[in-house]
């Protein structure tokens, strides 16, 4: 678990109120595969934000291995129950939507709803779109090509949803 407060080396005043960063989404947001908590995307981003903002960053995650876009509503509810509420929310999601045959437009609509809730609560929001599954060599052909095509369609739909919801 990578949750905790991260302070970059250049931060002179580590007593400043930390920025609240929350990660939502699937196994990629959880940092599945990282051998140390500091290697997770959340910890890496928290350290980077801390260095730029010159203040500590408190990281929390409500992400879950296996999560799909339909789980984002519950994850947003959990994130917004945290005190302090998140200043920044990062969503990494999409692969499980592909493996569960969710249509890209439907998954993107669920993402957009989650982003609107986060933005309405005052959080800046960032989306990491579905990766290109066509690059995953262990997936046999022709499934790899099909997964790649659908994944790219989902990523495009997610990008549009993020922009329309005021996210990055």
* H/E run at residue 146: helix 143-164
pLDDT of 149: 96
pLDDT digits (tens, 9 = 90+) for 37-60: 999 999 999 999 999 999 999 999
Using DSSP, state whether 20 is helix, strand or coil: strand
Query: pLDDT confidence of 13, banded at 50, 70, 90?
Result: confident
Residue 14, pLDDT > 80, answer: no
pLDDT of 145: 96
What is the overall mean pLDDT for the chain? 96
As a whole number, mean pLDDT of residues 124-147 equals 96
Q: What is the DSSP string of 108-128?
A: HHHHHHHHHHHHHTT-EEEEE
Helix 72-80 with 104-120: angle, nearest 10 deg:
10
Residue 67, pLDDT > 90, answer: yes
What sign does the CA torsion over 71, 1, 120, 124 have? negative
pLDDT of 137: 95
Buried b (16+ CB within 10 A) or exposed e, 134-145: beeeeeeeeebe
As a whole number, mean pLDDT of residues 4-28 equals 93
Count: domains in the chain: 1
129's tokens: 């779109």
pLDDT of 15: 84
| CATH code: domain of residue 19 | 3.40.50.1110
Decide: residue 122, CB within 10 A, 0-12 exposed, 13-18 middle, 19+ buried. Answer: exposed
92's tokens: 């990494």
pLDDT of 138: 95
pLDDT of 31: 96
Q: Say how far apart CA 99 and CA 168 lie, in whole Å.
A: 25
pLDDT of 12: 84
- Which residue range(s) make up the domain with 118? 4-164
pLDDT of 134: 94
As a whole number, mean pLDDT of residues 24-42 equals 96
Do the Cβ atoms of 63 and 75 come closer than 8 Å? yes
């Amino acid at each position: 678990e990578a949750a905790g407060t991260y302070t970059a080396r250049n931060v002179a005043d580590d007593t400043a109120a930390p920025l609240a960063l929350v990660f939502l989404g699937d196994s990629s947001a959880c940092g599945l595969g990282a051998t140390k908590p500091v290697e997770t995307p959340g910890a890496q981003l928290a350290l980077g934000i801390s260095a730029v903002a010159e203040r500590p960053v408190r990281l929390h995650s409500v992400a879950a291995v296996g999560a799909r876009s339909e789980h984002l509503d519950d994850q947003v509810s959990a994130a917004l129950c945290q005190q302090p509420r998140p200043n920044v929310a990062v969503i990494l999601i999409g692969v499980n939507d592909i493996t569960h045959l969710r249509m890209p437009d439907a998954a993107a609509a669920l993402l957009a709803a989650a982003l609107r809730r986060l933005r309405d609560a005052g959080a800046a929001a960032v989306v990491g779109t579905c990766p290109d599954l066509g690059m995953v060599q262990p997936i046999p052909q022709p499934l790899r090509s099909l997964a790649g095509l659908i994944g790219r369609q989902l990523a495009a739909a997610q990008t549009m949803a993020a922009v329309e919801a005021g996210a990055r």
